Chain A
């Protein structure tokens, strides 16, 4: 097995173009496990973890760009204002895994259980891909993640990162596992409120072939918030039966299966519970206001 060690992005893209069979490796928290288990044996590994272009994030013109080489520990430290993203990053594996694992790996592996994926889906992220010769393209997340462990990436492309328009409003990420840390999701959910568009966006992980959005439930919640006057008056209350109904709609949208980690019935049930809680928390957090939990202003939905 050959290891390619590019120093720059251009060099990396050239190598990928010359060796389309090369598999990129950054933290190695997925690839090395697969290799150790004998599931995969790539002829060439392309080590992208040193590339400076991938190891950065920037927040400009209202858009966050998250380099593919951003590790979870850096997200937790450097982007705590992106609450849901930071919460998802904190839920990943162990400290060692969070030190090594990257956003690009989460996207490239495209597991339905990838912890950061529901956050990116709820944020309507685009995945930025590059190939040699200065060719880049951006795919909406749902066009990039096309199936369990399947993406729309071309063999000569590398993942540069993900980007999304930063919205104002609270949000959270929750993940159910059978132990209290270091566990692969049985079900996960990200909910964000978009204050400016008065929208609710919800994405589910580990309950379908890919991450799922739940448009009907989202529209229902946004409408209910409008009807109750919550958008205009944070102190207004959403009737409990509405929150209940929202949970039922989210649960109904899940497409779970039975597997070694959990049952389909439990997964569906958990989606409903997580949805109800996330909506209640969002409303609570709006009432508390951006600084309410001792965080800097703009923390729920950091601005660029």
Chain B
């Protein structure tokens, strides 16, 4: 009992605590999935279809098996259990059986002593394909004579939201058509993992993923193993952004490990990675907005078409999101929103940061600008006039119950000072030593040295967007956490065991901060994330801080109750100082009563205290056939203002400044929040200006970082961010997720600024240099994209649910 002075617990909630994994990552010592190694391990390799649509008549593996160093070659027939997996519906074959539906679909897997041998062996496998005509256009997929890619046709889900009277009369109408391309998550660490067979006939899978338990739910049935024999462990994850929600090499590595009895490692190459994960759904969007002359929205009509590629992935949730957010963060009394997610022979699309909200934000914010112009109104004022607030009704009939500081984010963003005026173009009259010259790297075109300030035009754009936090549509994506408080050699230690995937966003740091604050203990250790604790749900949907944070908070509170019982019990027995009056609290390693120290925490930890708790968000209700329900848990809003410079002759762009205000509920780790805002903005900037997976006839043309461009430091401007902290009722500490809203809104803001600078329509992202100088015409449509005549959101037999979908969806033909 040496401690007698009271110190505040350091490193708790609200502090910009250094990341728990920061130092090893900066020093290059962090072990990512691709660094996994085991004695005697083999290297797995995947043979993929070169054709977007073909029948497989036969596969001859003799040549590969004959190669020295090859231990196994496996085909669809070798899959021990269920032949298909999938997040919502098990419709994606582990290995293609008699048909391939996209170029890059796995056809065979093999294990060899080294990657080189594995690659050469794969080249010896002979597949007899009968090439079929591919369906590569999302509208063509809806034509009656289009080849049917799945038994149930080419529509995964059709959503129809009818709100008020969609035919209500308005005084001013604007209409627009918009397209967005396929974006890649571009995580730095490609798909990787290692499967190690165990003596009980099961397997341990170490993998870079976003949700350990849903991986296991999909992997175990394919391996024909009970879930407890498939233990999934999180390996170091080099970014995720949605691309690791789906199973990639998981089942393959396990199959090879179980077959060979050896550890099998698989790491996709950069090119293969473009085929190894889902992308952001390309979209075609038509919208018509009606308003009063005073600028009040009367009606929104929207038709959305998302190209999901070959399989379901999380597509039904993506179109659900896109449809429910299509009217924007505005009060809209009447709406008709029709959203359709189709199958084609393009690469599969699924989850990516923003999850359907990005595509529609690009469209509805362009519409708001059009409307402002038609009304002769200031675009910011128009948005303020229609802003959602707590109590507003959404087109689904959902009433916003939580915080909705839309007005605040708009006003605070607009109040951020503008950057300095455009400097004079440099010229011989203003040489450098006279102090007048601007750094040429700062012109559009940057390091290319194309400009001394010629034809420079500045533009300003404003956008507001929003995104749901956690899973929707009645799904209970709960999170479990186990916390143990015990006496260490130099004080109390809290151990946090959570399956929440740390993918680089900082959730592990946040969980440690919460444990510190709740338990008054600074020393927190994190148990490795695995399936020995219950599911944490996915590191997706901006949900982990709220959900796993909530679970850690609950577990800590349970520990506190037990600890306080011990304090009271011991006080009553008289072998410790009597408890003074007042509530018991924990701070700086001490137990306090009414703010007065009673004794060190470890004095009450003769027995460790361990508690496991599950956090549930408030229940939601899926949409009905009219799109009415209470589908979302809560919402996070963001406003951004972009200032851009365009070289009007070359169509090159430099974003000068991003100003943003974001509704974050409560910042647990402010520096990490700013980091998410900057990173999310960079992703939106990339989508606005350069990021596009180019697909022609079902084939990816630019599967490399040479030609799939993501922003560099010369493309990213300073981000002036303001955090709006209005706590979310019912959420731990009032938190909201922060990762997605910046991505949702920045693409829209930047393109608005480009329109302002050039006066051009710019209705497709990414915007090309050709578009900015008028060499191309705006993306055209003959009218609203078609909506199939299917009744409500029942286009697919059973939908939503990992557990339900897994069991009920048809097996592949």
Contacts and interface: CB of A to CB of B under 8 A. Distances in A.
Given A260-B701, A265-B775, A270 B650 contact: yes
Interface in B762-782: 768-770, 773, 775
A300 interface: no
B711 A261 contact: no
A179 B715 contact: yes
A260 B433 contact: no
Given A91-B449, A265-B775, A277-B452, A184 B428 contact: no
Contacts of A37: 271, 704
A203 to B, nearest CB: 15
Contacts of A287: 428
A176 interface: yes
B422 interface: no
Nearest to B123: A38
Interface band, chain A: 35 or more
Contacts of B433: 294
B706 A180 contact: no
B432 A293 contact: yes
Nearest to B269: A36
Nearest to A178: B690
Nearest to B710: A179
Nearest to A115: B448
B714 interface: yes
A253 to B, nearest CB: 18
A285 B650 contact: no
A176 B448 contact: yes
B654 interface: yes
A284 B709 contact: no
Nearest to A177: B448
Nearest to A277: B454
B697 to A, nearest CB: 14
Contacts of A36: 269
Residue of B432, B704, B712, B769 most packed against chain A (CB within 10 A): B769
A167 interface: no
A168 interface: no
B427 A179 contact: no
Q: Is the interface of A mostly helix, strand, loop or mixed?
A: mixed
Contacts of A274: 450
Given A265-B775, A277-B452, A179 B428 contact: no
B447 interface: yes
A178 B709 contact: yes
A284 B689 CA distance: 32
Nearest to B694: A260
A220 interface: no
Contacts of B432: 293-294
Given A265-B775, A269-B773, A277-B452, A90 B447 contact: yes
Interface in B89-121: 119
Interface string A264-275: 011001100110
B45 to A, nearest CB: 12
Contact of B450 (A175, A265, A288): A175
Nearest to B716: A180
A36 B654 CA distance: 33
B337 interface: no
A291 to B, nearest CB: 10
Interface string B243-265: 00000000000000000000000
Nearest to B649: A273
B431 interface: yes
B796 to A, nearest CB: 35
Interface string B48-79: 00000000000000000000000000000000
Contacts of B714: 179-181
Interface of B: 119, 269, 271, 427-428, 431-433, 441, 444-452, 454, 649-652, 654, 689-690, 694, 701-702, 704, 706-707, 709, 711-715, 768-770, 773, 775
Given A174-B448, A181-B714, 18 more contacts: A91-B448, A174-B445, A175-B450, A176-B448, A177-B448, A179-B690, A179-B715, A181-B713, A261-B707, A263-B770, A269-B773, A269-B775, A270-B650, A273-B649, A277-B451, A277-B454, A287-B428, A294-B433
25 contacts: A33-B706, A36-B269, A38-B119, A91-B447, A172-B449, A173-B449, A175-B450, A176-B448, A177-B448, A178-B769, A179-B689, A180-B441, A180-B446, A180-B715, A181-B714, A184-B707, A262-B769, A262-B770, A265-B775, A266-B770, A277-B451, A277-B454, A285-B428, A293-B432, A294-B433
**Closest 4 A-B residue pairs measured CB to CB?**
A180-B446, A180-B714, A175-B448, A181-B714
